[in-house]
Amino acid sequence: MAPRRVVITGMGTISPLGNSYDEFWTRLIAGQSGIGLIERFDTSNHPAKIAAEVKDFKAQDYMPRAEARRMDLFIQYGCAATRVALEDAALDVKTVDLDRTGVIVGSGIGGLETYEKQHNAMLKKGVNGVSPFFIPMLIPNMAAGHISIMFGPRGPASCSVTACATATNCIGDAFRLIKYGITDVMISGGTEAPITPLSIAGFCAMKALSTHNEFPEKACRPFDIDRNGFVMGEGAAVLILEEMEHALNRGAKIYAELTGYGSSADANHIVQPDPEGYGAAKALEYALIEADMKPEQIDHINAHGTGTMYNDIIETKALKKVFGAHSYDIAVNSTKAATGHMMGAAGAIELIAATGALCHNLVPPTLNLENPDPQCDLNYVRGKARTHIINAAASESLGFGGHNAALIIKKWG
């Protein structure tokens, strides 16, 4: 069977910038930030007191209350974003071949909130205080499991767990299942709920989080000389991928065509990227090869852009390796200064942002990029959204453990 074409027909978000694609896109383009002081727990003893929390989320708006009680927050987010994405795609799953419809939705960390609550329950009440739902609420694959149960797909259901590259790997894996004829429709993306006392303490211990607590909206500063760490985010982003003819036959709206996926390992360090950006560059190169595109055909890149000292410099090196002189013509941005770092969901929310940019020829701004680091000297979109003709775009993700992944999309029609 010849490789088949894959298109994006639906996008759903539960995010610090809104709980639908339209709300997310409108606020992102307007340069709004979802970052603020943490409201969920007392941060008096935490060096970092800021995060990008999801607002106005009620699980019962998306699922029965009884089901929600058996889910960790990351699972609730994933199921809710799936419902939003299916509605956006105008896709009734009951009308498609469920055996050829699958789910790959991952989480980089899983049910941290459940883990902390159940550990405390055991300390207070002993072994009998632990819920029988503890393990099913904790493990990262259960977002995909619950989505399959809730909506009915019987095709492949799985979960990549590659830290901050999770969602990008999930979407890439889903893309290939359709491309090579295993499925016709895939629900894919990432979900994360990592804003907990233990998680924030752990990342603080690593010196990874920004501690610009007095000005939360200014704290995340990708590619800026004054950056001092990332800001934790949370939420879910899910895309509906379809085989092109399947989408056309049902009259679906098509946002973009997904054409390439690349994945690589740094084989270097548990948390720091390869110092020369070799692995990140390879992921982009592999994606270009699969897309059958030349580097100079890429007009926009949604960078990983965490706002950490090493990541931003190394990512800049990687882009120069792949795109050479053309890297200065590409409109590059990072949306993490608006959404926070959504960890296992980051790659999906950033592909959605890149898809919006492609559809509207409008690149969202990189917030707080006021004094660019001299070592980060590419064509970053700063301050406000920029009109830019985009025929093809890339989104890349880098994860602890040396995981790198990249996706390429091109304009439809």
The Cα-based distances of 61 to 80, 115, 376, 411 in angstroms read 8, 25, 43, 34
170 among known catalytic residues:
no
CB-based contact 59:71 (threshold 8 Å): yes
Nearest to 227 by CA among 109, 303, 291, 311: 311
Nearest to 393 by CA among 340, 341, 356: 356
CB count within 10 Å of CB 144 equals: 28
For 233, which DSSP code? Answer: B
The radius of gyration of the chain from alpha carbons, rounded to an integer in Å, stands at: 20
For 164, which DSSP code? Answer: G
Q: Give the DSSP H/E element, type plus range, for residue 26.
A: helix 21-29
d(CA 391, CA 70): 44
The one catalytic residue among 146, 304, 388, 403 = 304
Q: Give the angle subtended at the CA of 234 by the CAs of 304 and 121, to the nearest 5°.
A: 135
The one catalytic residue among 164, 170, 220, 376 = 164
d(CA 345, CA 373): 27
204 among known catalytic residues:
no
CB count within 10 Å of CB 294 equals: 10
Residue 197, amino acid: P
Residue 202: both structure tokens together: 């752990």
Torsions phi, psi for 380 (to 5 deg): -75, 140
CB count within 10 Å of CB 412 equals: 17
Residue 400: both structure tokens together: 């602890």
159 among known catalytic residues:
no
Residue 152: both structure tokens together: 């009915």
CB-based contact 303:333 (threshold 8 Å): yes
The Cα-based distances of 282 to 20, 56, 172, 266, 351 in angstroms read 33, 40, 15, 9, 19
The one catalytic residue among 46, 212, 300, 341 = 341
CB-based contact 77:58 (threshold 8 Å): no
Query: Please, which residues bridge with residue 396 across strands?
Result: 406
Cite the active site residues. Answer: 164, 304, 341
